């Protein structure tokens, strides 16, 4: 309430106008495409086995990436929220790098490390996991581009948990593990969940890094690209609409639910 | 008994240096210092929640310097309570008991004892964010007592409360302590709070322990200018203690000689509490050895009492009640007599 | 300093181990590829006119997108930081949608709206601007995917400016415009700048949305993809390394400078 | 002169209802209320910084209800100063003058006047984050005065300061006001601060204006239980005013009859300040009409003074100085006599 102090003066009106332009620029393409779609064709597309397979693969691969990110990213987020050390800013900067590394270049870098003939690729290959043109490759690409969102969100969540709550728990007899699982984690849970949702959605969105590692099996963004290249806009549109709807549902709906819960 | 030896705590911005404190078993010990004097850090260091730079800590003859906080048996209550927001009041209070895997029946017994002791039975199923400040602080206190600590640390427990709740909780703290004699270290910046609660007081400031003593000693015989200012001794003079003609000591400041009781001679400070000065229209015969005449140059209204600044030549600040002030019809420029005992002047 | 209270116990060590895995997963591919590069080939690649042209186009298009985002996004960020209104959470959610919309699907949506035969595309076409296979198209695609980063960062910046500073300025005689330009904007400047850097870097990284709208003129991520498809990993690598270096410099170096300035 | 009529301010969580306040030209007006009583919002509403739900505001006979804040000529100083962190002290102070495009020479003149007035010449080139709390508050005050406001609003200006700076700045505020007579509205939760500074005081609480009057009136004649509690009148009784045998009024509470001076009869409250009760070992002849015997059941040490709780049957709280306390050698369980004048009892 405190925030609503400005009267609707010229500044506010100008800003509303400018802000509306960029807001419309974001939502009009998405909603116009969704609402211009023929529901019949959409339904048909949904039952196209190639489409179904691609979408399920996308959701599944992104979910695995999110799971791996959760197990490895949450501990890192906790450390970054609680400790100060030399070079922390640099570590934090590097963690955000995947957001801004050009996607195809990221794909090349991952291929270079995880490809059959290289380094870790050959190590994994010896235990039967290979990354080129496989689901594992898709997961790795998705994990790489989407992990910063989970780490950043979980870190903010842990930062909001007063360290003195943990201190009190310790004095009451809780070990550092008990303190983490009974106090820190439950209290940061909503931020961690938001981060997971964001990470999952971001994984689904990836294209550039994935096609370098694995054009096949085909994920939905690749399928859209292939249909666009082969048949043109009209045939790629229904798949795009479906995928946008799925992203919107995962992102806006789940996130809104999480935030609504936050306000009790 | 708690012994703290040569404690150095590094706070980044400044360092608490070489602190030595002994606290007796069952004692209510108050640490008094201005905001930002490192009082919280001192408590957290004792509880093992803050890394020591140097120093050792003993608790009942067991050295706990390197012990994990969960193994020390030291509870802490913070100014802003730090109740676990996702747990009910009941689950907050029983947190430490459940961690210890105590039997449900025993947990229930402890819970109902604490709830009765602090009068919070009606709050048990509530969530912390629905409580008032005073209620929260009672719950935090119950939670801290639940584990039967060897030492209870209170970090400005009354500062965030409104005056009413503060008085109530202060009485509560006193009576709980009188009944159960849990060794308590209470940190505050409030001088009155310290006086009202403490068995002994340590004044810390400028990164070190300035003085340790009973409230009476801190109040009447501050050992440094820092403590004197903190105890609101408004008359602090810097001057010289010399031998009078009668062989007794005189404190000379601004050409005035005060009769004092001290064995010291040379450059010293003198402090004199404003309420120890009697203000009158005329000199009157009494056993008090100091009597001066001066002019009122300032009047500060404090409600029930007033502070007069009287220029003798040094400025004396005197406290009088509103009744006397009204009765004497004083105003600025009036000439008044100041009388006080030689023993009221503290030399340090 | 306050944060460093935990001793190095088992929890911390376990978390450091888990965190290190994900941290290495992020940085090893990037640095290994950079350090494995032959500097001679890199230099040669840098003077390949096709590469130079693509990189400059990428930087330039992302810069224009950032400029547009700055003018339109900062006012929106200010409004979101200062006002409460019904549905604000939804607006904020929608602004973040471009982060998670699958890139190729976003490209399809933008093509649908900005293509010659559609809606806004034809409007712009009549004034001589067209988006398909043009720099304008690249800018639009980059703007779409990167604007949320600027808005979010600027919003956080404005939120940190106490509204009472603005109130004091008003009582001292400053109009709402003067207050914005003399108080709010300068005080939020570092966050806005970080947002701009992030937006620029994110623009440079885009591939999926751009190739749908404009395969040509070719931006660097597209060039990497084309060389990979045509000649394989070895020939695409030097371009990828160059682009990663540029992203790293823009992002880590500029961001570190901004943050160092923040600590006076 | 400021007139505030039927002000309703909606704070989301509660509403300040129907506030009416008149402030005279040149007056130092203090608004006193507990934390969270909407005091800041009231000031911001007057300054045009907060949307009114209803009500009208006049400033020197001009209605300013709908005027933009920058056109009202009302300055505000916040508790936490709100200095512009990116500007030097000098640029902070001259912000309003530069906005007005005043000539540089004139800006310099105003600046040096203000810097001299508040003694902050040595701070002019510093950045705000290098200043102490007291220094910041002086700069904020200088900045607010720079534009020669028709009305100066002070929002808890002393609350965030340490006791020393607080006393200094309080004197400064008083002397600046005496010299320049800027109409001032000062909001605080500190009763002593209000008494020391105010020409008149308004007590607000529970979302409405409880009482307006001189400090003396608020102190001696609280008009409601809320005000009485706030003024730390510790003796508040609920009872009945009846006609005594001599025709004078008696206040009957717990079977005791107090002589009081009032024209009212029936159910009322009585309040009696603790310092108006004289405590003695034996009854003594005086003109005071009330004299009771009771037993000490509580002693609360406040430093220079102490509060005794004496059970007559109703509990009376009496304030005595430490000197008297020591001289009388009082302890819990002692029987003492309480004496107070009929006129000391306030009926409401």
Whole-number percent of chain D with pLDDT over 90: 49
D146 Ramachandran zone, left/alpha/beta (phi>0; psi -120 to 50):
alpha
Pick the CATH number of A64-214 from 1.20.120.530, 3.90.950.10, 1.10.3720.10, 3.40.1190.20: 1.10.3720.10
Given a contact cutoff of 8 angstroms between Cβ atoms, the answer to whether D209 and B320 are in contact is: no
| Residues 6 or more apart whose Cβ sits within 8 Å of residue C48 | none
pLDDT of residue A4: 52
pLDDT of residue A264: 42
> Would you state the structure tokens that stand for residue D276, as one six-digit string?
């108006």
Q: Residues D32, D210: contact at Cβ < 8 Å?
A: no
The Cα–Cα gap between D128 and A257 comes to 43
- How high is the pLDDT of residue D287? 79
Dist. CA B236–CA B233, nearest whole Å: 7
Chain A residues touching D47 at Cβ < 8 A: none
Residue range D163-179, pLDDT digits in tens: 778 888 998 999 999 99
Tell me, what's the pLDDT at D52? 80
pLDDT of residue C22: 95
Choose among A76, A93, A205: nearest Cβ to C102: A205
3-state DSSP of chain B: CEEEEEEEEECCCCEEEEEEEEECCCCEEEEECCCCCCHHHHHHHHCCCCCCCEEEEEECCEECCCCCHHHCCEEEECCCCCCCCCCCHHHHHCHHHHHCCCCHHHHHHHHHHHHHHHCCHHHCCCCHHHCCHHHHHHHHHHHHHHCCCCEEEEECCCCCCCHHHHHHHHHHHHHHHHHHCCCEEEEECCHHHHHHHCCEEEEEECCEEEEEECHHHHHHCCCCHHHHHHCCCCEEEEEEEEECCCCCEEEEECCEEEEECCCCCEEEEEEECHHHCEEECCCCCCCCCEEEEEEEEEEEECCCEEEEEEECCCEEEEEEEHHHHHHHCCCCCCEEEEEECHHHCEEC
DSSP designation for D67: S
In angstroms, the CA D30 to CA B37 distance is 32
> Measured between alpha carbons, how far is D276 from D274 in angstroms, rounded to an integer?
5
Tokens of B335: 């000439």
**Cβ-defined contact of A32 to C115 (cutoff 8 Å):** no
Per-residue confidence band for C252, with pLDDT thresholds at 50, 70 and 90: confident
Selected residue of C161, C167, C171, C186 to mutate for chain D interface (largest D Cβ count, 10 A):
C171
Classify strands B184-188 and B151-155 as parallel, antiparallel or unpaired.
Answer: parallel
Is residue D131 scored above 50 in pLDDT?
A: yes
Say what the pLDDT of residue B303 is. Answer: 78
Q: Tally Cβ neighbours within 10 Å of residue C262.
A: 10
- C7 contacts B50? CB cut-off 8 A: no
CB within 8 Å: D323 and B276 = yes
Q: Is A116 helix (H, G, I), strand (E, B) or coil?
A: coil
User: What pLDDT is recorded for position D324?
Assistant: 83
> Taking a C-beta distance cutoff of 8 angstroms, is the pair D173, D188 a contact?
no
Nearest CA in chain C to A158: C3
| C-alpha distance from D335 to closest chain C C-alpha (Å) | 54
How far is it, in rounded angstroms, from Cα A11 to Cα A14?
Answer: 5
Kindly state the greatest CA–CA separation across chain A: 68
B12 CA: distance to closest CA in chain C (Å): 7
pLDDT of residue B327: 84
Residues of chain C with Cβ-Cβ distance to D75 below 8 Å are 171-172
Residues linked to residue D270 through DSSP beta bridges, in sequence order: D237, D347
Q: For chain D, what are the domain ranges?
A: 2-228, 233-347
pLDDT of residue A7: 56
pLDDT at position C3: 46
> Distance between alpha carbon A25 and the CA centroid of its chain, in Å?
22
Number of Cβ within a 10 Å radius of residue A84: 11
Task: Suggest the residue from A2, A4, A10 to mutate for an interface test with chain D (most D CBs closer than 10 A).
Answer: A2
Dihedral over alpha carbons A67, A73, A77, A80 (to 10 degrees): 180
Q: Which chain C residues touch B49 with a CB distance below 8 Å?
A: 5
CA distance A32 to A16: 22
Q: What is the Cα–Cα distance from C20 to A204, expressed in whole angstroms?
A: 25
Angstrom distance (rounded) from CA D346 to CA C13: 69
- Among A219-223, C66-70, C130-134, D87-91, whose mean pLDDT is lowest? C130-134
Residue B302 has its nearest CB partner, among D192, D321, D322, at D192
Predicted complex ipTM: 0.85
Interface of D with B in 218-277 (CB under 8 A): 219, 229, 231-232, 273-276
> Does A5 contact chain D (CB < 8 Å)?
yes
Does C261 have pLDDT greater than 70?
Answer: no
Peptide bond into A88 cis (omega under 30): no
> CA-CA distance, C140 to C213, in Å (whole number)?
9
In chain A, where the domains are located:
64-214
pLDDT reported for residue A105: 94
Provide the token pair at A52. Answer: 């179904």
Subunit contact C233:A5, Cβ cutoff 8 A: no
Angle at B275 between CA B217 and CA B335, to 5 degrees: 145
Which of A82, A157, A162, A173 best tests the B interface by mutation, with the highest count of B CBs <10 A?
Answer: A173
User: What is the Rg, in whole angstroms, of the alpha carbon atoms belonging to chain D?
Assistant: 24
Q: What is the DSSP letter of C218?
A: P
Confidence of residue C2 (pLDDT cuts 50, 70, 90): very low
C121 or D76: whose pLDDT is higher? D76
The reply to whether omega before C217 is within 30° of 0 (cis) is yes
Average pLDDT over residues D275-289: 85
In this complex, the residue of A76, A95, A221 whose CB is nearest that of residue C103 is: A221
Please identify which residue in the block is written with the tokens 């006049």: D58
Give dist(CA A257, CA A263) in Å, integer. 10
pLDDT at C1: 37
pLDDT of residue A261: 65
Please give the torsion angle defined by the CA atoms of residues B321, B324, B327 and B329, in that order, rounded to the nearest 10 degrees.
-70
Rounded to 10 degrees, the C-alpha dihedral A144/A147/A149/A154 comes to -170
- In CATH, the number for domain B233-347 is 2.40.50.100
Residue A227's pLDDT is what? 93
Q: What is the pLDDT of residues D200-243, one digit of tens each?
A: 999 988 778 889 999 989 988 999 988 988 888 889 999 999 98
Tell me the nearest-neighbour CA distance from B68 into chain C, angstroms: 9
Q: Which ranges of chain A would DSSP assign to H, the alpha helix?
A: 10-35, 39-46, 49-82, 88-100, 103-114, 119-126, 135-160, 163-171, 176-179, 185-205, 208-213, 220-231, 233-248, 254-262
Radius of gyration of chain B (CA): 24
Question: Is there a common fold for D2-228 and D233-347?
Answer: no
Dump pLDDT digits (tens) for C136-176: 999 999 999 999 999 999 999 999 999 999 999 999 999 99
Provide the token pair at A7: 């009267």
Question: Which parts of chain B have pLDDT scores under 50?
Answer: none
- Cα radius of gyration rounded to whole Å, chain A: 22
CATH class of the domain at D2-228? alpha beta
Query: Does residue D319 come out as left (phi exceeding 0), alpha (psi in the -120 to 50 range) or beta?
Result: beta
Give the DSSP letter string of D273-302. -GGGPEEESS----S-SEEEEEEEEEEEE-
Separation of alpha carbons A216 and C162, rounded Å: 52
**Please, what sign has the CA dihedral across residues C241, C244, C248, C250?**
positive
What pLDDT, on a 0 to 100 scale, did the predictor assign at position A55?
94
Q: Over its length of 264 residues, how does chain A's per-residue pLDDT go in tens digits?
A: 344 554 567 899 999 999 999 999 999 999 998 988 888 889 999 899 999 999 999 999 999 999 999 999 999 999 999 988 888 888 998 999 999 899 999 999 999 999 877 777 788 888 888 888 899 999 999 999 999 999 999 999 999 999 999 999 999 999 999 999 999 999 999 999 999 999 999 999 999 999 999 998 999 999 999 999 999 888 899 999 999 999 888 888 888 788 776 654
């Amino acid at each position: 309430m405190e925030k609503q102090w400005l009267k609707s003066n010229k500044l506010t009106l100008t800003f509303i106008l400018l802000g509306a332009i960029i807001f419309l620029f974001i939502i009009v393409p998405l909603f116009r495409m969704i609402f211009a779609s023929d529901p019949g064709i959409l339904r048909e597309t949904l039952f196209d086995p190639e489409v179904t397979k691609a979408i399920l693969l996308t959701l599944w691969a992104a979910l695995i990436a999110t799971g791996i990110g959760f197990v490895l990213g949450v501990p890192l987020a906790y450390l970054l929220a609680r400790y100060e050390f030399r070079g922390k800013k640099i570590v934090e900067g590097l963690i955000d790098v995947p957001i801004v590394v050009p996607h195809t270049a990221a794909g090349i870098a991952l291929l270079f490390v995880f490809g059959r003939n290289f380094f870790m690729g050959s190590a994994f290959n010896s235990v039967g996991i290979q990354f080129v043109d496989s689901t594992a490759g898709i997961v790795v690409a998705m994990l790489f581009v989407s992990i910063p969102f989970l780490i950043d969100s979980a870190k903010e969540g842990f930062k909001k948990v007063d360290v003195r709550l943990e201190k009190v728990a310790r004095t009451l007899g809780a070990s550092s593990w008990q303190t983490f699982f009974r106090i820190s984690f439950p209290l940061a849970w909503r931020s961690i969940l938001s981060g997971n949702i964001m990470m999952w959605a971001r994984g689904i969105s990836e294209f550039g890094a994935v096609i370098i590692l694995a054009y096949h099996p085909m994920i939905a963004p690749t399928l859209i690209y292939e249909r666009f290249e082969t048949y043109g806009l009209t045939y790629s549109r229904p798949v795009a609409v479906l995928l946008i709807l799925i992203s919107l549902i995962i992102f806006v709906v789940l996130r809104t639910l999480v935030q609504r819960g936050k306000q009790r | 008994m708690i012994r703290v030896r040569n404690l150095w705590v590094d706070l980044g911005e400044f360092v608490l240096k070489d602190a030595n404190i002994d606290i007796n078993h069952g004692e209510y010990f108050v640490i008094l210092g201005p905001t930002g004097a490192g009082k919280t850090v001192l408590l957290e260091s004792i509880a093992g929640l803050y890394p020591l730079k140097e120093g050792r800590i003993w608790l009942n003859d067991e050295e706990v310097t390197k012990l994990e906080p969960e193994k020390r048996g030291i509870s802490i209550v913070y100014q802003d309570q730090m109740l676990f927001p996702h747990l009910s009041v009941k689950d907050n209070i029983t947190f430490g008991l459940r961690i210890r895997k105590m039997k449900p029946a025993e947990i229930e017994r402890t819970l109902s004892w604490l709830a009765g002791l602090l009068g919070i039975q009606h709050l048990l199923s509530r969530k912390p964010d629905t409580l008032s400040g005073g209620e929260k602080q009672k719950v935090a206190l119950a939670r801290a007592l639940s584990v039967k600590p060897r030492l209870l640390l209170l970090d400005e427990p009354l500062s965030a409360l409104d005056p009413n709740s503060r008085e109530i909780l202060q009485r509560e703290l006193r009576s709980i302590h009188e009944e159960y004699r849990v060794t308590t270290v209470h940190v505050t910046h409030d001088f009155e709070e310290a006086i009202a609660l403490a068995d002994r007081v340590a004044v810390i400031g400028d990164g070190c322990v300035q003085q340790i003593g009973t409230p009476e000693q801190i109040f009447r015989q501050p050992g440094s200018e820092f403590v004197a200012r903190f105890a609101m001794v408004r008359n602090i003079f810097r001057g010289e203690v010399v031998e009078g003609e009668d062989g007794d000591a005189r404190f000379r400041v601004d050409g005035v000689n005060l009769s004092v009781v001290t064995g010291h001679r040379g450059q010293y400070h003198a402090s004199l509490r404003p309420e120890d000065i009697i203000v009158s229209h005329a000199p009157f015969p009494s056993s008090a050895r100091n009597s001066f005449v001066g002019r009122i140059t300032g009047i500060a209204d404090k409600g029930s009492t007033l502070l007069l600044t009287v220029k003798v030549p040094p400025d004396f600040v005197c406290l009088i009640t509103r009744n006397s002030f009204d009765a004497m019809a004083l105003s600025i420029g009036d000439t008044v007599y100041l009388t006080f005992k030689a023993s009221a002047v503290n030399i340090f």
